[in-house]
Structure formats: C-alpha cells, structure tokens
A = this chain, B = another copy of it.
Amino acid sequence: MVISKARDYVVDNLKYALSPRSIAVVGASRYSTKVGYKVIEGLYNWGYQGKIYPVNPRADKVFGLKAYPTVKHIEDDVDLVFVAVPAHIVKSVLEDCVAKKVKIVVIATSAFKEIGRGDLQNQLTQYCRDNELPLIGPNLVGMGSPYLNFNCGFIPYLPIKGPVAMISQSGANLLAALGTSQKDKFGMSFFVGLGNKADVDFCEFIEYANKDEHTKCISLYIEGLDCPEAFLDSCKKVQKPIVTIKVGGSKIGEKAAFAHTASENTGTNDAFYDDLFKEAGVIRATTWQEFLDVSLALGLMPKLKGDNIVMITNGGGSGLLSCDHFERCGVPLHELKEISEGLSQRIKAYMPMFGSPLNPVDISGTASPTQYKGAFTQAMRDPNVHGLLGSICPTAVTNVPAVTDVAIELWKTYKHLGKPFIMECQGGKECHEAILKLRENGIPAYPTAEQAVNAMIALYKQGQITDLNPLS
C-alpha cells in the first residue's frame, strides 16, 4: 500500500528485524522438513544469541525449546515475530502481536495479493499501520546478518561479513546472492527479503542501511515500486552508493512480477525506471552477475574521481576485451601519453621489448611479479591516474600466487590515496583462488575482463553521481 515517504517509526524499528533480542516463530513445526522447523533450526545452528520462542498450540516443545500456544503466552518481551502460518490465520497472530507490543512482525507466508487476495493483504497492512506495528512481507524468505550470526528464515546459507546490504523482493535471488557470498567471498552487512512489501518498503530499508555501520553499498533487487516518490526521497538523503536491478519490464515480466510478489508495473516501463534511478542517483545493473559485481566494487572501493583509468595486464587479449568494453560503456580508455607525461616510459622499464605501453598496457605473458609490482606502482603513484585495473592471465611462466600478493601489498601501501584498484584474473583453479584471496583482502576481483570493467565503470558512475549531489 502506497506511502508518500519513509515513516520514522518504521525506520527506527527495523533494527529489531536485523538485531532482535528475542524472536517468536509462529508456525514452529516439530517436523524437520517443514519451514516452521527450519527457521528455528537455522537460528540455532548459525549461532543466534538472543531468545527463541516457538509458537505452536499443538506442541509442548519444538527443537528442544519450550513452545507457546500464542505470542501472548510468552512471558518476556518479544522484539520480532516471524510468521509462517497459512494466510487466513495471520490476522489473529497480528492481533496478538499488537497486544504483546512486539516491535516488528515478519510474514513469510505466501498466497496473498500475488494470487488475488489483495483485499486480505490490504486489511492486514492497514491493521498494522493503525497500530504502528511495522510489517515486513508477506511472501518472503527471511533476513539476517553475518555480523550477528543471525539467520532468520528458510535460508541454507549465512553470508560472509562484508560491505553490501542486500535488499531483495525475490527470495530465490536473495538465496543466490547468499550462496555466492560463501562460495565467491562476496561480503554482506545484512540481507532481507521484502516479498510483497505490503507495508515496509524499499525506502525504509534504504534509510536504515544508510545508518548501518557495516553497510558501504546498498543493493536492491526490485520487482516493482508502489511509491516511486518515497523511493526517490529516501535515495536523495543517502550518501552511500545504491545499486539496483529492476525486473518486470518485459511484456510477460509484468505479469510474472505480479504473480510472484504482487508487484505492479503497468505504465512503468524500463525507461520510466531509468529516469527514476537517474534522478535518485541509483546505479542500475542489467544482469544479475553485473548486479553482484558492481555491488562488490561499490562496497569495497572509493569512487573514481575521473576517467584516467590505467589497465595493466600480461595478456593482450584480456586488454582488448577490456578496452572495447570500456568504450562500449561510454568511458573509453585514454592512452598513457594523454594521461601523464613520462608514465609510458616509466612503465616500459618493467616490460620486454615486445610488450605494449599503450593503455591497456601489455607487460606480456612473460611478466614476473617484480615487473607487475613496478608497473602497478608507477601507475598507482602517478597523480594523474584516477584508477588502476590489473589483470593476471596464467601463462606457463606466470606466478599467479606471487602476483596476487603483489596486488594485495600494493593496495595496502596505496589505499590511502583513495584510488580504486580492481583486479581481473582469468583462467583455472589458481585464478579462482587468487580472486578469493584478493576479495578477502578488500580488492574487488573478477574472472572476466568485462566484469572487471563493469565494476570500474560503476565506480566512475558513482563519482559522477556524487559530484552532482551536495550531500556527498
């Protein structure tokens, strides 16, 4: 239901969704295959430190914990109520929540507006609003934070700690990001599914994320915005980078977005959202991979202060993929001689005669860690250079781990200069390991040239956005 701007009581209470001192799970099941069991199992196994209250009128114990017939029967205060019971029972649960003065309620249950029960969803929402009880959902997968070992929902992964707040209407895509987090070292500050976002909306989580100390990038998977004005208003208050992927713009996607999260997209095509995001200072990704890649870069690196980007690689092919993609994205590379007098000569000291000191700089397939270090350092220290894109291609003589360490050392030494540093490492197992190690050391690293370029372009866009925003 439409709101005109983010509500303070909601923003203030979102901390209870992401760091509750106590949680009641309504619909807690004794059967280990059921969602209502998985939620409690997940909370317990991932190491949640607060109190857990299973609510089930037909059980004395669930997962070894004392069960309560209703929320009202719980003796102590309850911050968060997580609801996983059928739609028609939810109203009475909400009444108990209001009576118990819980801080926030999350409805995981599906089968509301997305299957035609808009009236029921609206009634529940209005009831919550009348009682200033923020409602997250319905029709969602859960939320959590790795900083608190908090994983609340039916979610098989806890992400690793890091800078990205992931706010997603889709449970499946949120799970994909969480799975990627562990596997590919994609660090998150917190994550939340919004589902149908009947009450609590993107704008409110954006304002919460802006205040969250661990969040450096706010990432949004959107199926539809009911309140574009409220979204715009909140985004304009935010200094942190915001990146989004917005779906539902295709003819069949419009129907699918409604069937999935009851998201309404009639009359709001992709161009409408392009304009909205531009005005809001939000970077829009086109594909899921780009969404993740760009989020990581915006979370880990400062913005680019100009377009003097230098790329240094031991693979001419990788350089070519990159410079073509830079130009395709509207930010063509400049030759070294246009960027800084003498830089080309200084870098040439670290390459064989058949290398190429253009830009991309090809230090050749024979490049040693020492040559990498020399070339990287020359580029990074040059005051005219705004950002550095390094690339490792595994030839038979490339020492991938040693070059990885060179990159990490470089970043430690020159991080204070505030210039983005991104790495590409294309190839087999040792390259994947290099990417993980680089990411663990705060350097966005990617397996293909275009992914690394997309990441750098996003930092450039963020520079352009913040140039225009007096708050930044």
Contacts and interface: CB of A to CB of B under 8 A. Distances in A.
11 contacts: A35-B396, A157-B427, A171-B365, A173-B317, A182-B429, A247-B321, A251-B332, A253-B323, A255-B358, A287-B450, A288-B426
Q: List 6 A-B pairs, minimum CB-CB distance, nearest first.
A: A172-B315, A170-B317, A179-B428, A179-B427, A260-B316, A250-B327
A145 B174 CA distance: 40
Nearest to A41: B396
A422 to B, nearest CB: 16
A168 interface: yes
A115 B357 CA distance: 11
A276 to B, nearest CB: 17
A55 to B, nearest CB: 19
B175 A259 contact: no
Interface in A399-454: 426-429, 431-432, 448-451
> By CB atoms of chain B within 10 A, which of A38, A323, A396 has the most?
A396
Given A353-B111, A427-B179, A324 B253 contact: yes
A317 B255 contact: no
A110 B316 CA distance: 12
A333 interface: yes
A42 B314 CA distance: 21
Given A353-B111, A359-B252, A316 B394 contact: no
A226 interface: no
Interface of A: 33, 35, 38, 42, 110-111, 114-115, 141, 153-157, 168-176, 178-183, 221, 223, 245, 247-253, 255-257, 259-261, 286-289, 313-321, 323-328, 332-335, 353-354, 356, 358-360, 362, 364-366, 393-397, 426-429, 431-432, 448-451
Contacts of A174: 317
Contacts of A314: 172
Contacts of A358: 252, 255-256, 259
Contacts of A168: 317
A288 B172 contact: no
Nearest to A327: B250
Contact of A365 (B141, B179, B362): B141
B247 A324 contact: yes
Given A354-B114, A397-B33, A175 B320 contact: no
A203 to B, nearest CB: 20
B327 A260 contact: no
A256 B154 contact: no
> By CB atoms of chain B within 10 A, which of A250, A289, A353 has the most?
A250
Contacts of A362: 256, 259-260
B353 A323 contact: no
B172 A332 contact: no
Given A114-B354, A431-B179, A320 B170 contact: yes
A370 to B, nearest CB: 14
B154 A396 contact: yes
A397 B252 CA distance: 28
A63 B328 CA distance: 48
Contacts of A287: 321, 325, 448, 450
Nearest to A287: B450
A169 B317 contact: yes
Contact of A324 (B115, B141, B249, B450): B249
A236 to B, nearest CB: 27
Contact of A333 (B156, B171, B252): B252
Contacts of A429: 179, 182-183
A366 to B, nearest CB: 8
Contact of A172 (B171, B181, B393): B393
B320 A247 contact: yes
A153 B397 CA distance: 12
A38 B396 CA distance: 7
B115 A354 contact: yes
Given A179-B428, A324-B249, A429-B179, A259 B394 contact: no
B321 A288 contact: yes
